[in-house]
Structure formats: C-alpha cells, structure tokens
Amino acid sequence: MIEFIRGLPKAELHLHIEGTLEPQMAFDLAKRNGVALPYANVEALTQAYNFSDLQSFLNLYYACMDVLRRSEDFADLASAYLQRAAADGVQHVEMFFDPQAHVNRGIPLRVVIEGLSSAASAARERYGISVLLIACFLRDRPATEAMSTLEALAEHRDAIHGVGLDSAELGHPPSDFAEVFAAAGEMGLHRVAHAGEEGPPDYIWQALDVLGVERVDHGIRAAEDPALLRRLAVDKIPLTVCPLSNVRLKCVENLSDHPLPALLDAGVVVTVNSDDPAYFGGYVVDNYVALQRAFDLDTATLEQLARNSLDASFRGDVRGS
C-alpha cells in the first residue's frame, strides 16, 4: 500500500517549510551559525515534541527557527524537504513560509526568499518538481504589521505566488485581516487561510466571505456546520487537511475521530498534506497511509485524494509546470 500511495502523482498544498526542520538539522545549523538552542541535544529536543495544543507547538516551532540565519540555511532546509517530497511522488509544492517570524528577528526578507527560491530552482532541475511560494501572515501579530509585510513582499512580487494566514487561531479571526487580503488580491496574489483548525466554523465563513480565499487550510471544523459543508462542496473550495497534525495538536483525539469521512461524504474537495512534518511524525505519504489504515480507504479514494491535490493547486498559472 505504501508503494501504491508513493506512486500516486500528487501535490502538497499545506506545508510550512519551517516545519520541516528536523531535530538533527536544527543542531547542525545551530552549530554552523553559533546559535544556542534551549535543548541539550537531539533527544532532549525530540522529547519536547509532546504538544497539548496549537500554541504549545508554535512556542517550540518559533524557538527552533532561530537557527535559520543565512540564505544557505533556508536553501538547505528547503532542499532536504524537496528531495523527500520528490521521493514521495510529489510533483508540485505550494510552500508556506512565515516572513514575519524571520524579519522580526532581524533576518532580511531577501535572505529568506533567495534561499527558498534557489532550492526551488535546483529541485525543478533535479526532480522536475514545481514549487510556488505562499507567504503567510501571522494572525497573532497586528494587522498593520501584516500590511507592512505585504508591502515588503511587493518588492519580491515575481517570487511570491500567494498569501496565507497562520499561527495562533483562537481569538484572531480572519476578519481582522480583511484589508491586507483585499490589497493582496489587488496585487494578483492567490489567497488562502488557516481556518477551522482550532477555531470555530464561523472563522471558515469569514475566510470565504471576508478574505475571499480560494482554499481553506485545515477547515476540519466545517464538519460541525452542514450549511458550511454545502457551501464548500457547491463552490468547490478545497480543504488542505493535515491528519497527523490534527492528532498531534489534539484537534482530534484519535485519527479514527477525524472528520475526513464526513467531509468526503458531503462532497468536499479534500486534499492530504503534512503541515509541519518534522514535528508531527510524518511526511505526506505517512499522512495518506495513516488515513488509509484508520478508515480502510480503497484505492479509488486514495487516487481521488491525490488527484484533488493537483486540481486544487495553483500550478495551472505557471507556464511549463
């Protein structure tokens, strides 16, 4: 079954590149850059991957990012992920990154974008994989900061394909970012947002109706709202679902409680993704395999999920991809 899943042509549409920082690479980069990590060794860091909710994960995720200092660091991080993704049958990646998490600790935006873009070009040459960059705004930072970030991104317009919204969801509704998403739309950028991961179905409605998103990241709490399920199905708004993440962050208790079957039954376009694979115990194929085992998915459903990921991607915009 693993080989069947690996062989399915697929896209990964919900992947935070900073969330691919494996513990060993974190220590290697810490050494290279003379940065002290607040953990004694790889084992101690790995032991800390015992999250109680989204915020407990984000605290560690932002702390580990401190090892990313130079363009080479971002390039090495992205190259390691893309090599793995290509081996997993991923043909196309829409790669999230968090500009504010780097700029706010003194790393120029140019350094981040140059590193990621160079890894993307190398991976296209080596594996034929295509990569689009999506810059996510941190929703637990002020909307004014998101707007200045968008202005800074405008200077790298050619390298950026879309914008997203991530970080701590509860208490930070999408509507706070109406203006910045409207401005991004005027720049011709694609729009996506995390909504309904921990937050209520109303945040998904806001992402659709206020931010005008084309895809919803996670969106699992849509399963609580039949009218919302109908809206997603009728308008063919894809959800980028990340099952292992949902279990690790305790959005669902067990994988068997995951709303995937309800979403599929409602006719929603579901895609399978890894979110932050280094932290959540699996890359994209591991997520498919876990779902297959939990719900005894047949090969036609697995093929449909993989096809959905390619159909829901923005790659049709790019000539030759």
Binding stretches for ligand ADE (CB under 6 A)? 16, 19, 54, 61, 166-167, 194, 197, 245, 275-276
Query: 190 or 194: whose CB is closer to ligand ADE?
Result: 194
Q: Which position's Cβ is nearest ligand ADE? A: 166
Helix (H) or strand (E) holding 233, with range, is: helix 226-234
Query: 165 or 302: whose CB is closer to ligand ADE?
Result: 165
Query: 53 or 265: whose CB is closer to Zn ion?
Result: 53
204-212: long-range pairs with CB below 8 Å, 24+: 204/228, 205/231, 206/173, 206/174, 206/175, 207/165, 207/174, 208/235, 208/237, 210/174, 210/175, 210/178, 210/181, 211/165, 211/174, 211/175, 211/177, 211/178, 211/181, 212/181, 212/182, 212/185
**Residue 54 interacting partner from ligand ADE, Zn ion, none (CB closer than 5 to 8 Å by kind):** ligand ADE
Helix, coil or strand: residue 271: strand
Q: In what order do the strands lie in the sheet with 239-241?
A: 10-16, 90-97, 130-138, 162-166, 190-195, 215-218, 239-241, 270-272
**Residue 197 interacting partner from Zn ion, ligand ADE, none (CB closer than 5 to 8 Å by kind):** ligand ADE
**Residue 138 interacting partner from Zn ion, ligand ADE, none (CB closer than 5 to 8 Å by kind):** none
Q: Is 66 in the site for Zn ion (CB under 5 A)?
A: no
Distance CA 188, CA 181 (A): 11
Catalytic residues: 197
**Residue 19 interacting partner from ligand ADE, Zn ion, none (CB closer than 5 to 8 Å by kind):** ligand ADE
Q: How far is the CB of 18 from Zn ion (least distance, A)?
A: 10
Q: Is 275 in the site for Zn ion (CB under 5 A)?
A: yes
Q: How far is the CB of 28 from Zn ion (least distance, A)?
A: 25
Q: Is 169 in the site for Zn ion (CB under 5 A)?
A: no
Residues that bind Zn ion (CB under 5 A): 275
